[in-house]
Amino acid sequence: MHLARFPRIRLAHLPTPLEPLPRLSQALGVDLWIKRDDCTGLAGGGNKTRKLEFLLGEAWEQDCDTLVTQGAVQSNHVRQTVAAAVANGMACEVILEERTGSKAVDYTENGNVLMDRLFGAVIRRVPGGSDMPAELERTAEEIQARGGRPYIIPGGGSNAVGALGYVDCAREIVVQADDLDLKIDRIVTATGSAGTHAGLVAGLAVMGADIPVLGIGVRAPKEKQEANVLKLARETAALLGHPDRIRDDMVVADCDYVGEGYGLIDGAVIEALKLAARTDGIVLDPVYTGKAMKGLIALAQKGQFHGETVVFLHTGGAQGLFGYQGELEGTL
């Protein structure tokens, strides 16, 4: 696994810490550690920064001058992509899908949206359920017609090139665990656009590390989510030259904690946010890590992690909290 073969632009503060969560561990009865990918640095940090290192590397190699991407209104991926673009002298045009249907001003204008505007993104909004790949192609064609050289980044940066960022993270976790004499029994992460989950699975498989990854779904049903992750994990492993390393049983997603839908929060998510904050001072986000922690808490209470050492991958996104002020009002 020689990642230097792939073009890369360094954006992240790496390695991110791997730390124990002593008070949350005590509360849940699990030996719980946290991989702090909320600390990657770019635009406040988050998991997309790792993916963008390889995606921007390919964009530069192709002599592109404009990044084009998409996400939900409060997209952490869009925030980090716009920041990566401006930091490297590139333009960035984004399409924000009104996926949750919320018209609240804090959701539509604050949080990540405020940061997108601060970084100077060209923003276009489309209704929920729009054909987002088609919207990306349309925007790229408009840029080309103006003489620009667009590079399309899929939602979440989740293709095989982007997933290389989490192949690298898998390597980083194993190195840190070995340095700490820490035997990891399981990694738990939010799983949405599939790139983080697939990259971890591919990286661990290619290394032969044999650490299972549990994805807590934030959007799609289990069958669809596992199929998306498995497909991308195989594509990523093929890019690394080892397409045969991925088995079906390596991809596990628990999608019982999505709630009413993507980006919609409930009381259990709010309680997970509060528990992480009030035990070990960890700030989670309502959309991804909050739901992943909701699932982890519920599974721990059922005894699923009994006797295990579990690493929770914090994918960032606290900036999105400010888009949910109205829903959090009176709950804290």
pLDDT in tens, 232-270: 999 999 999 999 999 999 999 999 999 999 999 999 999
- CATH label of the domain that carries residue 72: 3.40.50.1100
311 lies in the same domain as 274: yes
Instruction: Evaluate whether residue 3 is within a structural domain.
Output: no
90 lies in the same domain as 108: yes
85: pLDDT strictly greater than 90: yes
Instruction: Evaluate whether residue 301 is within a structural domain.
Output: yes
279 lies in the same domain as 294: yes
CA dist 277 and 259 (Å) reads: 21
67 lies in the same domain as 35: no
246 lies in the same domain as 134: no
165 lies in the same domain as 149: no
239 lies in the same domain as 321: yes
Give the single-character DSSP code of 104.
-
106 lies in the same domain as 215: no
How are strands ordered across the β-sheet holding 252-254?
Answer: 18-20, 31-36, 309-314, 186-191, 213-217, 252-254
Instruction: Evaluate whether residue 223 is within a structural domain.
Output: yes
Q: Which of 100, 125, 153 is the last residue of a domain?
A: 153
Phi, psi torsion values for 307, nearest 5 degrees: 80, 5
Name residues whose C-beta falls within 8 Å of residue 149's C-beta, 6 or more positions apart in sequence: 62, 63, 64, 65, 66, 143
Q: 139-150 burial by CB neighbour count: b if 16+ within 10 A, else e?
A: bbeebeeeeeeb
Rounded mean pLDDT of 288-314? Answer: 97
Q: Which domain holds residue 78?
A: 63-153
256 lies in the same domain as 222: yes
Q: Which of 128, 153, 178 is the last residue of a domain?
A: 153
* Contact assessment for residue 95 and residue 126, using Cβ atoms and an 8 Å cutoff: yes
pLDDT (0 to 100) of residue 191: 98
Indicate the pTM of the whole model: 0.97
- Which tens digit of pLDDT belongs to each residue from 220-235? 999 999 999 999 999 9
Q: Which of 88, 121, 153 is the last residue of a domain?
A: 153
Catalytic residues, by residue number, are 75
207 lies in the same domain as 75: no
- pLDDT confidence tier of residue 1, bands split at 50, 70 and 90: confident
- Which tens digit of pLDDT belongs to each residue from 122-156? 999 999 999 999 999 999 999 999 999 999 999 99
pLDDT (0 to 100) of residue 179: 98
